[in-house]
A = this chain, B = another copy of it.
Amino acid sequence: MDLPTTVSTRDFPVTEVTSSLERLTRLVLRLTTQGELSLTSAATLATLSRSGPSRLTDLAAHEGVTQPAMTQLVSRLQEAGLVARAGDPDDRRVVRVHITEAGEAALAARRRARADALTRLLGRLGEAERAALVAALPAIDSLTRLLSDERPATQHAL
C-alpha cells in the first residue's frame, strides 16, 4: 500500500476525520454501556493497577473528572469490591485508594473480552487496513496527548 508522501494541513480532510472519529466514538460508547464497567471505571482501575495506591484527588485529575465525581466512582467501585480505601498515616486528610484482587480480575476479564472481540473484528479487515491501523496508532496517541494537554486551558470543540 502506498501513502501520500506529504499531507499538509491545508488539504487534510478535516471534516472526514472529525466525522469518522465521532462515529467511532459513539459506537465504542454504545458498546461499552451494556452493563459492564464504564469507560471511566475501567480507566481508573487500570490506573490503580499500573500506578499502585493513589489519592482521590490525583485519580480525579488523572481521569479528567471532578473530585466529587471520583469520590462517587470510588464509592461505587468499593461497593462492588473492586477497590478499597485506606487512610494515609502521614496525612490524615488523604484517602489512599487501591485495587483489590477482584478488581484486578475484573480488569483482566474486561481486557480479555475486548481483545477477543477486537481480534475477531480485525480478522475481517483486509491486510492493508490492519497495517494502516497499526501505522496510525502513534498518530492517534499524539492526538490524544495534544488534546489532553490543551483541554484545561482553552475549552474547544473536539
Give A residues with C-beta under 8 Å from B: 1, 3-9, 12-32, 34, 36, 39-40, 42-43, 46, 64, 110-111, 113-125, 127, 129-144, 146-148, 150-151, 155-158
Contacts and interface: CB of A to CB of B under 8 A. Distances in A.
Contacts of A25: 24-25, 28-29, 39
A32 B121 CA distance: 27
Give the oligomeric copy count: 2
A137 B17 contact: yes
In this complex, the member of A26, A39, A130 whose beta carbon has the largest number of chain B beta carbons within 10 angstroms is: A26
A43 B27 contact: no
Nearest to A42: B22
Given A134-B13, A142-B125, A156-B113, A151 B31 contact: yes
